[in-house]
Amino acid sequence: MKITVIGGGNVGATVAHIITQKQLANELVIVDVVEGMPMGKALDMYESTPIEGSDTKVIGTNGYDETAGSDIVVITAGLARKPGMTREQLQETNAEIVKSVTESVVKKSPNAILIVVSNPLDVMSYVAYKVSGFPRERVMGMAGILDTARYRTFIAMELGISVKDIQALVLGGHGDSMVPLVSYTTISGVPITQFLDQATIERIVKRTRDGGIEIVNFLKTGSAYYAPAAAAVEMVEAVVKDKKRILPCSVLLNGEYGITGTFTGVPIMIGKKGVEKIIEVKLTPEEKAAFEKSASEVKANIGKLKL
């Protein structure tokens, strides 16, 4: 298994490190435009493998020749959000970056599965899909796993319980209109409404939607990377090990949920072929309306692209 990570910044380097620790690849390539940086990080990572007991070979490069024949490519390239900046404001610049990256990737790895992490996530996933010409099964965006993890974390913080016992789903676009599904939120199978009142649930839902910018505001000069990287690697591992995991990810909908022609977060089955099944869950009328609104916002932003 050969995996390439495009972008050697905080997210990309953390993705690469976790993949190396988990030994999910025989060969891992880190690509970045900054001269020398990916080589330095890759060598440092490679030198950690004897300590961690990993046989993953780690390579850093400023080009794409070394990426040839990759089975999975994780795209993290692009600008990070700054305080006061919305995901949508990133769109124009990052669309050009993701377009260029995808063109280079496809030339060297025409059979790869693409996992997009660049923001705004759903729109960048669409860019990678259109530019690559790949079937929708081989292009997916990391979003719902991260949003769901934040949602579960905030519930655990509120109740003082283990995150392992919290089951939840967050659907829709990766942004302010994401839809945490309260009707599917349980603690060891018990509905969340038996633990928390409506006002508290609404506060947690709002904090989940603001989860990314909350970290940006703390860091001042960067954005989240530990949780996004862990979420991306969960998708990588599901492909590598053909796990058939059911995870919320951004995929192209072609009629599912009554939506066509846009990427948005829904539960999917991930295996060695990529997106192996799209799961349609029943939504309450309120959740359905919120989900359709979120998807329509993504579609509107996709309409602004100049590809």
Contact 72, 3 (CB under 8 A): yes
pTM, rounded to two decimals: 0.96
Q: Are strands 186-187 and 190-191 parallel, antiparallel or unpaired?
A: antiparallel
Q: Is there a contact between 124 and 141 (Cβ–Cβ < 8 Å)?
A: yes
pLDDT tens digits, one per residue of 180-213: 999 999 999 999 999 999 999 999 999 999 999 9
Asked if residues 168 and 195 have their Cβ atoms less than 8 Å apart, the reply is no
| Mean of the per-residue pLDDT values of the chain | 96
pLDDT at 92 over 70: yes
The CA distances from residue 77 to 81, 158, 178, in Å, are 12, 34, 23
Judge contact between 95 and 136, C-beta under 8 A: no
Res. 87 pLDDT band, cuts 50 70 90: low
Report, as an integer, the average pLDDT of 28-47.
98
Helices (H), 115-225: 121-132, 144-159, 198-209, 211-219
Domains of the chain: 2-141 (3.40.50.720), 144-302 (3.90.110.10)
- In this predicted structure, the answer to whether residue 256 has a pLDDT above a threshold of 90 is yes
**Lowest mean pLDDT, pick from 64-73, 80-89, 187-196:** 80-89
Active site (annotated) includes residue 174 = yes
Task: State the sign of the Cα–Cα–Cα–Cα dihedral 229, 235, 238, 241.
Answer: negative
Given this model, what pLDDT does residue 90 score? Answer: 79
CA-CA distance, 270 to 171, in Å (whole number)?
A: 16
Considering the candidates 17, 81, 152, 174, report the single residue annotated as catalytic: 174
Q: Is the pLDDT of residue 86 over 80?
A: no
d(CA 58, CA 89): 34
Residues 6+ apart with CB under 8 A from 93: 78, 79
pLDDT of 89 over the 80 cut: no
84 by DSSP, 3-state: which?
A: coil
CB-CB contact of 7 with 42 (8 Å): no
